Amino acid sequence: MTDAEKRLWGRLRKEALGYDFRRQHPLGPYVVDFVCLERKLVVEVDGGRHNLQPGLESDALRTGWLNERGYKVLRFWNNDALLRTDDVIETIWHALREPRTDLPPVMR
């Protein structure tokens, strides 16, 4: 894990936000940085290579594949995860609590 991923994992692990997150979890052909399977929420922490054309294209395909399977994807830059951790966690917290009409009733 990168330093940014380690920092974020320290704030997501052990149901710190009320939900279980897994790190480096396989979903189909991909391994996502973090996922809350219960809420179908993926959190990715991106470095500079994600801002170059091959990275942008790869991320778009990956996000599309995950969206087609009902996952919401949040992406954060490494710098934000390191320097604005509280803001990143707040965004994740709000995403966990927003209504999801595409989840089974017991998961809403």
Give the model confidence (pLDDT) of 58-104 as tens digits: 889 999 999 999 999 999 999 999 999 999 999 999 999 988 777 66
Instruction: Write down the pTM of the prediction.
Output: 0.85
pLDDT at 108 over 50: no
| Signed CA dihedral, 44, 47, 53, 55: sign only | negative
Burial class (CB in 10 A: 0-12, 13-18, 19+), 107: exposed
> Which residues have CB under 8 Å from 43's CB, separation 6+?
8, 12, 21, 32, 33, 34, 35, 73, 74, 76, 92
User: Judging by DSSP bridges, how do beta strands 22-27 and 30-36 pair with one another?
Assistant: antiparallel
Contact present, 7 and 85 (Cβ < 8 Å) = yes
pLDDT category at 47 given cuts 50, 70, 90 is: confident
Q: What is the rounded CA–CA span in Å between residue 76 and residue 11?
A: 15
- The answer to whether residues 63 and 87 touch, using CB atoms and an 8 Å cutoff, is no
38-52: average pLDDT: 81
Question: What is the three-class DSSP state of 40?
Answer: coil
pLDDT category of residue 42 using cuts at 50, 70 and 90: very high
CA 1 – CA 52 distance, rounded (Å): 21
